[in-house]
Amino acid sequence: MIYLDNSATTRPFDGVIDVMSRSMREAYYNASAAYKPAVDVDRELRACRRAIAAELGAQEDEVIFTAGGTESDNMAILGLAQTIKHPMNFVCSAIEHPAVAETIRRVEALGHEVRVLDIDSRGVVDLQKAEGVIDEHTALVSCMQVSNETGAIQPVAELARIVKRKNPQARVHADCVQGFMRVPLNMGKAGVDMVALSAHKIHGPKGVGALVVKKGVRLIPQITGGGQEKNTRSGTYNSPAILGMGEAVREMASRRDEVARVTAMKARLWENLSQIDGVRVNGPMPGEADSAPHILSVSFDGVRGEVMRNALEGEGVLVSTGSACASHKQKVSGTLRAMGLTGEQADGTIRISLGLMNQMEEMDEAAEKMKRLYLLLRQFRRR
């Protein structure tokens, strides 16, 4: 089996599984308790905070543990919106994950306006047009760091500069679920106030993530109760998952040089696919500065992406047709349509996403199978 859907989820590192198993078997204590074994667990959780914070140029106490990227995005957007008593505008890009796009629409019920940033044909936010969207009444701008569908790296730092120039009090939120540990981001240097993360995209466990919040940003808690996380996010700490996330961050950091290998695998895969007439890349070309190392979106002219995905599964190659969160809705990708693709081109798209556990020889084998299947399937194209 060749697994090429790492943007949907990743296989956990063996070390992550070991850490979580030890936590459940031996260090199962409630980290909020006062006796020594529980204090020891809390100390381990703090070490996880430090590991996460170090990757973003943040501080340990700016890391809030959550149940994943979706909760982090919700907390950032709704938590900020509920602190604002007079009408403002909230801005997001046209290619946001539903965790942002659907949530930001909810602020309209609070009396705020929602605005959308256009993207260009490569799937990158148009900064020139952004100048006319963001103004002195903007409260929040949310922009993903890396497109989960095309791998296009967004100009988050440049966008943040526009935001702070227009309104120094406005906040910038970045969904870094797809970019964390693969595309560097320093929150201070980039001018970003809040960053959403998810562990299972970096070979950690599912059901855990973090929202990193710069000091001075006030949020209304969305989950209330026992007052954990400095009253920002209540609930008993999911210690095994948090420790697993910390271990995933540490192992990713120790294998940072392997990101270059992933980049090379993506380039090799496209080199093979580019020789097939009727296949195109959606988004920046592999190797370009704003192309993430691990995500490749390609369209097959005349063959539906769903058909290609199912045929590839039969050959032992797993890919997706877009965001895993929306894969069962069977609708044309809003991201691809916003980039100017026709309905047929968008419908003929698959997403290939790589991880540290992939190997170069898999790129050749997967490309050969894609070519063979495409040449077969396109014979049945509707006239």
Q: Is residue 292 part of a domain?
A: yes
CB atoms < 10 A from the CB of 279, how many? Answer: 19
Element (H, E) at 246: helix 239-254
Any idea what the CATH number is for the domain that residue 273 is in?
A: 3.90.1150.10
207 shares its domain with 63? yes
pLDDT for res 323: 52
pLDDT for res 334: 87
pLDDT for res 381: 67
pLDDT for res 210: 98
Alpha-carbon span 162 to 180, nearest angstrom: 23
Of the three residues 254, 273, 294, the one that is the final residue of a domain is: 254
The domain of 232 spans 14-254
Q: Which two tokens stand for residue 176?
A: 């870094």
- Token look-up 């540990």 returns 181
44 shares its domain with 156? yes
292 shares its domain with 351? yes
176-187: b (≥16 Cβ within 10 Å) or e = bbbbbbbbebeb
**pLDDT tens digit sequence for 38-97:** 999 999 999 999 999 999 999 999 999 999 999 999 999 999 999 999 999 999 999 999
140 shares its domain with 48? yes
Tell how far CA 73 is from the center of its chain. 11
**Residues in the chain with pLDDT < 70?**
322-331, 381-383
CB atoms < 10 A from the CB of 300, how many? Answer: 24
pLDDT for res 382: 56
Q: Where in the sequence numbering do the catalytic residues fall?
A: 325
CB 142 within 8 A of CB 92: yes
Element (H, E) at 194: strand 194-198
pLDDT for res 290: 96
Q: Is residue 46 part of a domain?
A: yes
pTM of the model: 0.94
Q: Is residue 262 part of a domain?
A: yes
Indicate the SS3 state at residue 123. coil
Q: Is residue 125 part of a domain?
A: yes
Q: Is residue 33 part of a domain?
A: yes
Region class of 265: left (phi > 0), else alpha (psi between -120 and 50), else beta: alpha
Please tell me the total count of domains within the chain. Answer: 2
Alpha-carbon span 27 to 300, nearest angstrom: 51
Biggest distance spanned by C-alpha atoms of the chain: 73
Any idea what the CATH number is for the domain that residue 157 is in?
A: 3.40.640.10
Of the three residues 254, 273, 305, the one that is the final residue of a domain is: 254
pLDDT for res 201: 98
